[in-house]
Structure 1
Amino acid sequence: MLREFIAATVFGTMMIAGAQAADLGGQVLKIGSDTTYPPMETVDEKTGEIVGFDVDIMDAICAKINCKAEFVTTAWDGIFAALVQGEFDVVMSGVSITDERKKTMDFSDPYLVVSQAILLRVEDEGTSLDAFQNGSKTLAAQTGTTNAQLAEKLVTRDNTRLYDTFAAAILALQNADVDGVIIDGTSAHAYEQEFAGELTAAIKGLESDPLGIVFQKGSPMVDAFNEGLEQIKADGTWDALVAKYWGVEN
């Protein structure tokens, strides 16, 4: 069920009556994104286009507030520095909203709340969380993520293996270089489907993270995007996209 992966929706369903509609005047916005994280964002192997839930959400918001999104692939390591330096107008890449990040960047209202999970090899699916916490097993995650922070909390830094991309962490799991990969439950579900019979999201419902769209500090666009978020929730677009990617409606 979707609630295993998405902890909650966090924005209302009522429009503000009579409010002035936001309009960004058709502006083309560069969206920085680490496009290696299905189903949030990835590169379609056949078309070369960047696709995913984040892309569809961004396009839906832009349709409401009159802008156009141009997603740009960039490595996670350095993505926030690039935003601060003005290389992008926005970052949308399954980014967790944290107090530390809010010191240097602004966030939209959360557009999704996800719970973290641990991917295991199918032959190890009976492994418990306690087995990781007793110090005998290793966890992999992408460096610089809240997943990595949780991994260190669960198994200590010594038993945490960090990788530049989640794809590399998944490969390490497949090669039995690590015992598990800690990852957002939404993406764990995608990898579980991609590697059916090989990998399984056997440990679910760990800490929850709200995801937000990221802006330069003081950006005047935050209110407009929050208005767009509210609108796509109110008109059913958000529910339709959740159903598209996870097979059920909220």
Structure 2
Amino acid sequence: MKRIVLALMVFATLNMFADDINLWKKSTLNKVLQKGQLEVCMEPGYMPFEMKDKKGRIIGYDVDMAKKMAKEMGVKLKLLPTAWDGIIAALVTGKCDIIMSGMTITQQRNLKINFANPYVVVGQTIMMRKGLEGKIKSAKDLDKPEYTVVTKLGVTGEVATRKFFKKAKIVTFETESDGAAEVLNGKADAFVYDQPYNILFMSDKGKDKLIHLDTPLTYEPLGWAIRKGDPDFLNWLNNFLRQMKEDKVVDFHEKLNNKWLRDTSWLKRVQ
């Protein structure tokens, strides 16, 4: 009897080991290592996370992080510019290995894809025309039929806009730059979008021309997205992120924050 029990235990252990091997073979991380290349989907238009410079090269916070990630994996990096409305589908269908594109972690997106731990936390803020200074002090003050509020289509900024503005007229645009320009040109009263983008816009084109209500309306953690059912890749990404944040000798994460989120000298490269 003891021999039978022992045999069953050995058999179960071997089956568990085989399952682990099969999971690893199917893992995106294993496939990346096998092909020697990390393929990243991103939409180059979300400053300062990913955008094109004057020479057409994709640069930004996420780009530098992707380069570091590929280096730590010992593979090459391939950036795949992808339209925002199709970026999740591109990941799910295997056209890329990961989304690194300033994507906000939401419960709705999490039904389709998995996220690594947040690498940056942002929120939606409001830029408005200078003529409203002193008159409008909060989103509530702006929620009136005589005001037009603009945002980008299909992002969390649109979700927040529709949540906070029930009376104001809402207009959406394909890109954040078009939405911000609408307010800058006096064709709309306010623009709702991610805080980092609005801060940078106010330090450049919006300086002395717009007003920034910089208290975030929302809490929005940004995360890297991967396909579901891939614990090995998720484990590696979370450990990589932890190392980047906690290693005070290399201090890569802090240098990245200074380079892209605090310093605005890179704006000269994209104008």
Q: State the TM-score bracket (shorter-chain normalisation).
A: 0.7 to 0.9
- 8 Å CA contact 1:42–1:51 kept in 2: the answer is yes
- 8 Å CA contact 1:119–1:201 kept in 2: the answer is yes
Residue 254 of structure 2 is aligned with which of 236, 239, 246? 239
Q: 1:63 to 1:200 in 2, by over 3 A?
A: farther
CA distance in 2, matches of 1:61, 1:164: 30
Structure holding more strand per residue = 1
> Larger Rg: 1 or 2?
2
Structure holding more helix per residue = 2
Q: 5 Å matches for 1:197-236?
A: 197-219=208-230, 220-235=232-247, 236=251
What letter matches 1:201 in structure 2?
A: H
Q: 1:205 to 1:61 in 2, by over 3 A?
A: same
1:213-247 CA-partner distances (Å, limit 9, x unpaired) = 01122234222111111111122211111111233
2:69 maps to what in 1? 61
Q: 5 Å matches for 1:55-94?
A: 55-94=63-102
**3-state SS, counterpart of residue 36 of structure 1:** coil
CA distance in 2, matches of 1:188, 1:241: 19
CA distance in 1, matches of 2:258, 2:182: 31
CA distance in 2, matches of 1:134, 1:122: 17
Does residue 1:174 correspond to 2:184, yes or no?
Answer: yes
**3-state SS, counterpart of residue 48 of structure 1:** coil
**3-state SS, counterpart of residue 84 of structure 2:** coil
CA RMSD after TM alignment: 2.2
CA distance in 2, matches of 1:141, 1:157: 15
CA distance in 1, matches of 2:233, 2:252: 21
- 8 Å CA contact 2:145–2:168 kept in 1: the answer is no
What letter matches 2:210 in structure 1?
A: L
Quick check: 61-70 or 79-88, which moved more?
61-70
Q: 1:141 to 1:68 in 2, by over 3 A?
A: farther
Does residue 1:147 correspond to 2:154, yes or no?
Answer: no
The total of aligned residue pairs comes to 226
1:116-159 CA-partner distances (Å, limit 9, x unpaired) = 21112334343222321244322211111111100001113862
- 8 Å CA contact 2:51–2:60 kept in 1: the answer is yes
1:68-93 CA-partner distances (Å, limit 9, x unpaired) = 33222222122112221222211111
Instruction: Report % sequence identity.
Output: 27
- 8 Å CA contact 2:149–2:169 kept in 1: the answer is yes
1:34-65 CA-partner distances (Å, limit 9, x unpaired) = 111111110011x2211111111222233333
Which consecutive residues of structure 2, in runs of 5 or more, have no partner in the other structure?
Answer: 1-28, 264-271
1:31 maps to what in 2? 40
- 8 Å CA contact 1:117–1:183 kept in 2: the answer is yes
Which consecutive residues of structure 1, in runs of 5 or more, have no partner in the other structure?
Answer: 1-21
- 8 Å CA contact 1:138–1:179 kept in 2: the answer is yes
- 8 Å CA contact 2:38–2:70 kept in 1: the answer is no
CA distance in 1, matches of 2:95, 2:89: 9
Which of structures 1 and 2 has the larger relative contact order (alpha carbons within 8 angstroms, sep 6+)?
Answer: 1
TM-score by length of 1: 0.82
CA distance in 1, matches of 2:194, 2:40: 21
Q: 1:135 to 1:72 in 2, by over 3 A?
A: same
What letter matches 2:238 in structure 1?
A: N
Deviation, structure 1 residue 185: 0.7
What letter matches 1:61 in structure 2?
A: M
TM-score by length of 2: 0.76
- 8 Å CA contact 2:126–2:191 kept in 1: the answer is yes
